[in-house]
């Protein structure tokens, strides 16, 4: 079953909200997730709220509305946009289509007629293959300030553990120069992101799928270029096109990153739903973890969306959660023990959750996957492992309840949540 179309309504300043509300359909297919006034506020809300359709309501010749439409077309290609135009001069409607809106209705108009236009646009977009049912799948960016902390081991095991729970998962190696995610997973790098860029032409989900390498667990991996000199051809702009397509085609997207805050990594953080920060248990590494968390804070990244993982967390080291709290400023959410099976599994190219599912490290990685499944309103890995996917109903729970929980932490309906915007900079507030 298809979920209702999550529709965000942006009302231009100067237009009476009641005029707009009177035209909105009361159809069960259209779920109004927010009615927001002003371009800035609409833009921010769009980043934070899973949205399938944008309605832009404006009055007269509105440059603000044109700007909003153009920005959404650029940043969220494939998002259907319908304009409700009150007292619009002819030239304005022409401009609306020029900047990329899909359709326009003159107000006042009956909700039935507006509904007809919305459905028409949705059908056309779906037919064009640009609208996905699930285009806002959570994207998890695995970060660690230094090399060797376990980012790649964590990314590969997290991706596979999510796949073992019956989810469709895409993984991307953002360590563009020295990426080894394919190696750690035992995926043949027949095609890499470099080949994808070189292939030219427009990008769509089908093409992306053809360049994603399959892993036996079902994870599809976008492999880093094989040579460091090829890395520069895969820039943040290209990746920004890739993310929404992957998020439309999978239940989860996992990004393995390079050490440090490269432009690709910053852009990935900016586009992510969660950051999974990896630290290891020694004082020097914890200091780096703190610096990494401080950088995220400077970027305005919501700390609720960060999951702190302590890798190689052995009790023998003599650093407990309180010590971590003292140095890093927060307790770890997940601890992964040191385990000789981990490098062995890496060498075999078989993530430990497959190679040694009963090991303590594998349990730790499954607990990490559980953390994200729980936040997104899915069942746990342990409960789901080996079970077939629960299909649309499970996704519906994640899509509505889960996304609300991760945004608000209080399960409020979106309209209520919109009434109390959080103080965050635009950079970090994106949920895409």
Contacts to ligand ADP by CB under 6 A: 144, 147-153, 311-312, 336, 338-339, 342-343, 346, 361
Work out what residue 332 binds among Mg ion, ligand ADP, none; the CB cut-off runs from 5 to 8 Å by kind.
Answer: none
Query: Given the complex with ligand ADP, which of 51 and 192 has the nearer CB atom?
Result: 192
Work out what residue 338 binds among ligand ADP, Mg ion, none; the CB cut-off runs from 5 to 8 Å by kind.
Answer: ligand ADP
User: Cβ of residue 270: shortest distance to Mg ion, in angstroms?
Assistant: 20
Q: How many Å apart are CA 212 and CA 192, to the nearest integer?
A: 8
DSSP annotation of 60: S
The answer to whether 57 and 14 are in contact (CB under 8 A) is no
Kindly state the tokens that stand for 363.
Answer: 């349990």
Query: Given the complex with Mg ion, which of 151 and 350 has the nearer CB atom?
Result: 151
Query: Given the complex with ligand ADP, which of 130 and 311 has the nearer CB atom?
Result: 311
User: Cβ of residue 431: shortest distance to ligand ADP, in angstroms?
Assistant: 25
Q: Is position 280 an interface residue for Mg ion (rule: CB under 5 A)?
A: no
Work out what residue 312 binds among ligand ADP, Mg ion, none; the CB cut-off runs from 5 to 8 Å by kind.
Answer: ligand ADP
DSSP annotation of 18: H
The answer to whether 140 and 255 are in contact (CB under 8 A) is yes
User: Cβ of residue 307: shortest distance to Mg ion, in angstroms?
Assistant: 18
Work out what residue 148 binds among ligand ADP, Mg ion, none; the CB cut-off runs from 5 to 8 Å by kind.
Answer: ligand ADP
**Given candidates 59, 152, 230, 408, which one binds Mg ion under the rule CB under 5 A?**
152
Q: H or E segment at 124?
A: helix 111-127
Q: How far, CA to CA in Å, does 163 sit from each of 141, 143, 254, 388?
A: 17, 20, 11, 10
User: Cβ of residue 312: shortest distance to ligand ADP, in angstroms?
Assistant: 5
The answer to whether 155 and 256 are in contact (CB under 8 A) is yes
Work out what residue 311 binds among Mg ion, ligand ADP, none; the CB cut-off runs from 5 to 8 Å by kind.
Answer: ligand ADP
The answer to whether 41 and 55 are in contact (CB under 8 A) is no
Query: Given the complex with ligand ADP, which of 96 and 281 has the nearer CB atom?
Result: 281
Query: Given the complex with ligand ADP, which of 292 and 396 has the nearer CB atom?
Result: 292
Q: H or E segment at 125?
A: helix 111-127
User: Cβ of residue 171: shortest distance to ligand ADP, in angstroms?
Assistant: 13
Work out what residue 339 binds among ligand ADP, Mg ion, none; the CB cut-off runs from 5 to 8 Å by kind.
Answer: ligand ADP
Q: Is position 257 an interface residue for Mg ion (rule: CB under 5 A)?
A: no
User: Cβ of residue 350: shortest distance to Mg ion, in angstroms?
Assistant: 17
**C-beta atoms surrounding 420 within 10 Å:** 9
Query: Given the complex with ligand ADP, which of 88 and 342 has the nearer CB atom?
Result: 342
- Could you tell me the sign of the dihedral formed by the alpha carbons of 24, 30, 32, 38, in that order? negative
Phi, psi of 423 (to 5 degrees): -80, 100
Q: How many Å apart are CA 416 and CA 33, to the nearest integer?
A: 10
Query: Given the complex with Mg ion, which of 151 and 432 has the nearer CB atom?
Result: 151
User: Cβ of residue 207: shortest distance to Mg ion, in angstroms?
Assistant: 26
Kindly state the tokens that stand for 111.
Answer: 């909700």
User: Cβ of residue 352: shortest distance to ligand ADP, in angstroms?
Assistant: 9
Query: Given the complex with Mg ion, which of 130 and 152 has the nearer CB atom?
Result: 152
Q: How many Å apart are CA 174 and CA 207, to the nearest integer?
A: 19
Position of tokens 């037919």?
127
**Counting beta carbons within 10 angstroms of the beta carbon of residue 332, is it exposed (0 to 12), middle (13 to 18) or buried (19 or more)?**
buried
User: Cβ of residue 150: shortest distance to ligand ADP, in angstroms?
Assistant: 4
Q: Which stretch binds Mg ion (CB under 5 A): 145-153, 233-241, 312-320, 415-423?
A: 145-153
Q: Which stretch binds Mg ion (CB under 5 A): 99-107, 151-159, 189-197, 343-351?
A: 151-159
Query: Given the complex with ligand ADP, which of 305 and 312 has the nearer CB atom?
Result: 312
DSSP codes joined into one string, 174-223: --TTT--HHHHHT---SS-HHHHHHT-S---HHHHHHHSEE-TTS-EEEP
Q: How many Å apart are CA 426 and CA 381, to the nearest integer?
A: 33
Name the site residues for Mg ion (rule: CB under 5 A): 151-152
């Amino acid at each position: 079953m298809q979920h209702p179309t999550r529709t965000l309504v942006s009302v231009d300043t100067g237009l009476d909200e009641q005029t707009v509300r009177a035209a909105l359909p009361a159809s069960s297919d259209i779920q109004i997730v927010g009615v927001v006034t002003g371009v800035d506020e609409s833009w921010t809300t769009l980043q934070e709220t899973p949205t399938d359709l944008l309605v832009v309501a404006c009055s007269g010749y509105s440059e603000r509305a044109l700007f909003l439409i153009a920005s959404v077309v650029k940043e969220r290609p494939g998002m259907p946009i319908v304009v409700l135009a009150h007292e619009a001069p002819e030239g304005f409607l022409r401009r609306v289509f020029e900047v990329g809106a899909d359709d326009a209705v003159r107000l006042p108009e009956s909700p039935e007629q507006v509904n007809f236009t919305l459905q028409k646009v949705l059908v056309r977009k779906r037919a064009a293959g640009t609208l996905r049912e699930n285009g806002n799948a959570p994207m998890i960016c695995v970060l660690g300030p230094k090399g060797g902390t376990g980012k790649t081991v964590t990314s590969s095991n997290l991706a596979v553990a999510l796949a073992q729970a019956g989810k469709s998962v895409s993984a991307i190696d953002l360590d563009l120069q020295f990426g080894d995610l394919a190696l750690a997973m035992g995926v043949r790098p027949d095609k890499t992101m470099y080949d994808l860029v070189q292939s030219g032409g427009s990008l769509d989900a089908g093409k992306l799928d053809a360049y994603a390498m399959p892993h036996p667990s079902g994870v599809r991996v976008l492999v880093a270029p094989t040579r460091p000199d090829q890395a520069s051809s895969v820039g943040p702009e290209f990746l920004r096109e890739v993310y929404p397509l992957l998020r439309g085609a999978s239940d989860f997207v996992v990004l393995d990153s390079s050490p440090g805050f490269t432009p690709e990594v910053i852009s990935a953080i900016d586009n992510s739903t969660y950051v999974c920060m990896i630290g290891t248990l020694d004082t020097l590494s914890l200091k780096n973890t703190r610096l990494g968390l401080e950088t995220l804070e400077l970027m305005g990244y919501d700390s609720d969306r960060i999951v702190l993982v302590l890798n190689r967390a052995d009790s023998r080291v003599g650093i407990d959660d309180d010590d971590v709290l003292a140095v890093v400023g927060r307790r770890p959410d997940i601890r992964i023990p040191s385990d000789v099976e981990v490098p062995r599994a890496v060498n075999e190219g078989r993530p430990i959750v497959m190679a040694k599912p009963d090991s303590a490290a594998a349990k730790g990685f499954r607990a990490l996957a559980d953390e994200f499944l729980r936040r997104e309103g899915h069942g746990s890995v342990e409960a789901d492992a080996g079970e077939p996917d629960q299909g649309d109903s499970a996704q519906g729970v994640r899509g509505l309840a889960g996304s609300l929980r991760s945004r608000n932490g209080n399960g409020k309906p979106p309209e209520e949540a919109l009434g109390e915007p959080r103080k965050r900079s635009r950079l970090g507030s994106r949920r895409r």
